[in-house]
Amino acid sequence: MPLRKLSAPWIGVAMAVMVLIAVGMYVVTTVAPAAAATTAGCGKAPGLNSGTHTIQSSGKSRSFILRLPDSYNNTYAHRLAFGFHWLGGTANDVASGGTDGSAWAYYGMLSQANNTTIFVAPQGINNGWGNSNGEDVTFTDDMIRVIENALCVDTTQRFSVGFSYGGAMSYSLACSRPTVFRAVAAIAAPGAISGCSGGTQPVAYLGIHGINDNIPSGRSLRDRFVRNNGCAAQNPPEPAPGSRTHITTAYSCQTGYPVVWAAFDGGHQQGPVDGCAGCESGARSWVKQEVWRFFTQFGSTVPPTTPPPSSPPGQQNVLIAGSQSGRCIDIPNSSTSNGARAQLWDCHGGTNSAGPIPPTAP
């Protein structure tokens, strides 16, 4: 197989590599994180305020409740989190937290956000999410467009959560908008009743379901993303009837696309409480912590589009270190001159510390 000729200073690097191979070596790769992908609303006065807003979508008037952080900063790229209501529920139920008040507002996310997140509570047609001809997905697209033109959002940090019919809507968005939403959470989703257009790409997925609910539906929705996300198959443990507890299991999945399953001893509930049979209280429930923990694990980076490579690609900064010395190959002063000498030096991650080594041609 012909090899591409290496130019200096890489001849010296290649020679140093051969020396390291003789005494033992290891390769460490680092990738610079992507910057937050900001929107048109950044850096300008907010074009929307907290409250109810109405837009036209698919020829219909549709409304949503928006909640900005109390100390909204137009130079800070915020998370954007949607909370979809259940059948018969309303946007106001989600935005207000219902009888649990602010502790359960936006499924408990508001109380944990610390001014980092813009929240949206959409209103469904006939208080549901039938998504006829994809109109509710289109409505979501339109809300995102309007909000991001007016406010400062990190486009790598969009999330959706819902209970029951709202969970089915979040699942539908995971299917149809996997590159738009970083992660979704479906609480007691009764099946794919809001549709699943596409449904073949990975997206981070949290499923929460009661063992006395229609649990097969919850499992089947979860298992779609177990497959899509390249997770190792398993039968996650679930609590015994009467245990009054929950069990959370994280699957082993493709990097950047986790799947978590939280099964609890209960029925069709959005705010189950451990140690209390049949209790429903978002304020006291463990659910809000599980949802927020799942969403906030992701940094402001674009998720990987393919599984991690088995060998370091040429675009990465490849650190070549001696196993005995613990030091890296280094080009003094980042020289690119012919005849530049390679040396061993403390690893520091700079561009002159180890690479990248140009790949050989096939």
Q: What is the mean pLDDT of residues 205-219?
A: 94
The residue written with tokens 């259940």 in the block is 86
- pLDDT for 202 equals 98
- pLDDT for 344 equals 64
- pLDDT for 265 equals 97
Q: State pLDDT tens for residues 47-72.
A: 999 999 999 999 999 999 999 999 99
Checking if the pLDDT of 292 tops 70, the result is yes
- pLDDT for 24 equals 41
- pLDDT for 37 equals 84
- pLDDT for 147 equals 98
More confident residue, 207 or 304: 207
- pLDDT for 362 equals 39
Least confident of 171-185, 188-202, 224-238, 304-318: 304-318
Side by side, which strands form the sheet with 343-345? 25-30, 317-322, 328-330, 343-345
Q: What is the mean pLDDT of residues 25-45?
A: 63
Q: What is the mean pLDDT of residues 19-43?
A: 54
When the pLDDT of each residue in the chain is averaged and rounded to a whole number, the result is: 83
H helices of the chain, where?
Answer: 10-23, 91-96, 135-150, 165-176, 215-228, 287-296
Q: What is the mean pLDDT of residues 296-312?
A: 62
Q: State pLDDT tens for residues 249-274.
A: 999 999 999 999 999 999 999 999 99
Q: Residues 6 or more apart from 195 whose CB is under 8 A from it?
A: 131, 134, 137, 172, 175, 176
Count CB-CB contacts under 10 A for residue 78. Answer: 26
Checking if the pLDDT of 321 tops 50, the result is no
Side by side, which strands form the sheet with 51-57? 51-57, 60-67, 117-122, 78-84, 153-163, 183-187, 204-210, 259-264, 246-250
- pLDDT for 120 equals 98
Identify which of 252, 172, 167 has the alpha carbon closest to the alpha carbon of residue 214: 167
Checking if the pLDDT of 345 tops 80, the result is no
Checking if the pLDDT of 101 tops 60, the result is yes
Give the range with max mean pLDDT: 36-40, 57-61, 302-306: 57-61
